[in-house]
C-alpha cells in the first residue's frame, strides 16, 4: 500500500472514531454527512454537528484532492508545472457553554509530482490546539500534557519544538495576541537522516490518536457549569478573533480556497454566533482580563 493510501485509510477510521465519541458525549445532536467531489480531482466526506446539548457547531472533515497545482500555489512553493495530492482530516468544535473551550485539529499528507508522475516532494503536517474563553489552568495543563506524551516517544525535543511553532503560528499579528493556549503545530515533516516517512507516519498518527484523550476530559469537566449572558457575550467577542485568524492568516483556509476546495467544508470552522464590539476592553482584574494576559504572553504549561 502506498503512503498516501495508508494515510487516507487512517484518517477515514479516525473520523469515524472521533465523530462517534462526540455524538456519545453530546447526547443529542448527530453529525450530518455530505460526500462531495472536486471537479479537478478528488473529493471528501464532510461531517457537521449543530445545535447539540454541548456542541453548538462543529465539523470533522476528511478530504483527498489531486490534480494540477494552481498557479498561485506553484508560486508559493517555487515550482513550475507541478501536480499534487493532498489528504487530511480537519476538525473544529465550538461548544455552547462558554466554559468549554473551542478546539481545532488537523493531520495531513501532501505529495508533489513532476509531469511524468514521479514524486518530487512529500511531507506530513498537522497538530491540535485549544482556544478557551475562560482560563482554567488545569485544563491547559492537561491538554499540553497529553500532547507532550504523544511527542515524547518520537523525539525528546518534539514537544518543545512543536509547542513553540504552535504559539508562533496561531498568533493574530494584527491583534498582537494568540488565538488560544496552543498545543502542537508541525509542517513539512520530510524524510531525513533521523526519520523516514514511516517514522513520521507513526508520529503524526500518534498525535491524531491522542486527540480525544486531550479534549474530552475537559468537555466533561466543564459542560454543566452555569453561565450568564455576560459570559456568552465574551465568548462571542472572542469567537470574532477566531474568525479573524482563520480568514486572514490560516494557511489551510487559503490552500482550500486557492485549490477550488468545497467552500462549505472550508468555512465550516466559523462559529455560528459572533460579536465584534468597537474597542471592547474587559474590566481590570476580571476573568476575561486574565485570559487576555495569557494570550498576549504565551505560557509553558508542562
Q: What is the pLDDT of residue 156?
A: 94
Residue 191 is assigned to a structural domain of this protein:
yes
Q: 5 is written with which cell numbers? A: 493510501
Share of the chain above pLDDT 90, in %: 86
pLDDT higher than 80, residue 167: yes
d(CA 73, CA 17): 33
d(CA 103, CA 91): 8
Contacts of 202 (CB under 8 A, 6+ apart): 154
d(CA 147, CA 143): 6
Q: Could you give the number of structural domains in the chain? A: 1
Neighbours of 110 (CB within 10 A): 19
Mean pLDDT (whole number) for 10-17: 98
Structural element, H or E, at residue 4: helix 3-26
Q: What is the pLDDT of residue 215?
A: 98
Residue 302 is assigned to a structural domain of this protein:
no
Contacts of 73 (CB under 8 A, 6+ apart): 84, 255, 258, 259
Give the least confident one: 191-195, 223-227, 251-255: 251-255
| Length of the chain measured in residues | 302
Residue 121 is assigned to a structural domain of this protein:
yes
Q: What is the pLDDT of residue 252?
A: 82
Residue 16 is assigned to a structural domain of this protein:
yes
Mean pLDDT (whole number) for 179-191: 97
Beta bridge pairs of residue 63: 44, 88
> How far is the CA of 94 from the CAs of 109, 139, 271, in angstroms?
25, 16, 6
Mean pLDDT (whole number) for 154-164: 97
Mean pLDDT (whole number) for 27-38: 96
Q: What is the pLDDT of residue 6?
A: 97
pLDDT-derived band of residue 10, with 50, 70 and 90 as boundaries?
very high
pLDDT-derived band of residue 29, with 50, 70 and 90 as boundaries?
very high
d(CA 18, CA 27): 14
Q: Is 196 helix (H, G, I), strand (E, B) or coil?
A: coil
pLDDT higher than 80, residue 68: yes
Q: What is the pLDDT of residue 232?
A: 98
Q: 247 is written with which cell numbers? A: 480568514
Residue 292 is assigned to a structural domain of this protein:
yes
Phi, psi of 96, deg, nearest 5: -75, -45
pLDDT higher than 90, residue 16: yes
Residue 185 is assigned to a structural domain of this protein:
yes
Residues with a catalytic annotation lie at 104
d(CA 13, CA 20): 11
Mean pLDDT (whole number) for 55-76: 90
Residue span of the structural domain in which 79 resides: 3-296
pLDDT-derived band of residue 254, with 50, 70 and 90 as boundaries?
confident
Residue 301 is assigned to a structural domain of this protein:
no
Neighbours of 231 (CB within 10 A): 18
pLDDT higher than 80, residue 260: no
CATH number at residue 83: 3.40.1500.10
Q: What is the pLDDT of residue 72?
A: 75
pLDDT higher than 90, residue 97: yes
Q: CB–CB of 26/55 below 8 Å?
A: yes
pLDDT higher than 80, residue 266: yes
DSSP letter, residue 183:
E
Which residue is listed with cell 473551542? 102
Q: What is the pLDDT of residue 70?
A: 81
Mean pLDDT (whole number) for 33-62: 96
Q: Which of 71, 104, 138 is nearest to 268 (CA)?
A: 104
Task: Let me know the angle formed at the C-alpha of 246 by 292 and 95, rounded to the nearest 5 degrees.
Answer: 65
Q: What is the pLDDT of residue 21?
A: 98
pLDDT-derived band of residue 100, with 50, 70 and 90 as boundaries?
very high
Amino acid at each position: 500500500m502506498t503512503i498516501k493510501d495508508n494515510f487516507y485509510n487512517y484518517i477515514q477510521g479516525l473520523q469515524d472514531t472521533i465523530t462517534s465519541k462526540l455524538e456519545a458525549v453530546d447526547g443529542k445532536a448527530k453529525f450530518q454527512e455530505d460526500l462531495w467531489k472536486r471537479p479537478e480531482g478528488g473529493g471528501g466526506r464532510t461531517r457537521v454537528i449543530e445545535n447539540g446539548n454541548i456542541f453548538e457547531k462543529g465539523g470533522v472533515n476528511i478530504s483527498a484532492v489531486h490534480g494540477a497545482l494552481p498557479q498561485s500555489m506553484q508560486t508559493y512553493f517555487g515550482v513550475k508545472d507541478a501536480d499534487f495530492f493532498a489528504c487530511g482530516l480537519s476538525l473544529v468544535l465550538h461548544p455552547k457553554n462558554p466554559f468549554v473551550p473551542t478546539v481545532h485539529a488537523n493531520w495531513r499528507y501532501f505529495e508533489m509530482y513532476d509531469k511524468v508522475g514521479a514524486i518530487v516532494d512529500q511531507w506530513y503536517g498537522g497538530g491540535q490546539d485549544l482556544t478557551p474563553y475562560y482560563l482554567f489552568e488545569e485544563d491547559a495543563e492537561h491538554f499540553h500534557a497529553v500532547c507532550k506524551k504523544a511527542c515524547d516517544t518520537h523525539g525528546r525535543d518534539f514537544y518543545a519544538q512543536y509547542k513553540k511553532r504552535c504559539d508562533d503560528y496561531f498568533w493574530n499579528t494584527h491583534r498582537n495576541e494568540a488565538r488560544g493556549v496552543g498545543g502542537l503545530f508541525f509542517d513539512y515533516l520530510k524524510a531525513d537522516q533521523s526519520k523516514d516517512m514511516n517514522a513520521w507516519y507513526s508520529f503524526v498518527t500518534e498525535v491524531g490518536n491522542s486527540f480525544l484523550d486531550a479534549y474530552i476530559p475537559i468537555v466533561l469537566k466543564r459542560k454543566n457549569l452555569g453561565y450568564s449572558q455576560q459570559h456568552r457575550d465574551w465568548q462571542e467577542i472572542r469567537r470574532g478573533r477566531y474568525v479573524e485568524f482563520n480568514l486572514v492568516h490560516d494557511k489551510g483556509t487559503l490552500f482550500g480556497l486557492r485549490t477550488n476546495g468545497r467552500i462549505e467544508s472550508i468555512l465550516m470552522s466559523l462559529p455560528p454566533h459572533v460579536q465584534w464590539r468597537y474597542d471592547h476592553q474587559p474590566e481590570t482584574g476580571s476573568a476575561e482580563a486574565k485570559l487576555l494576559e495569557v494570550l498576549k504572553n504565551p505560557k509553558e504549561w508542562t
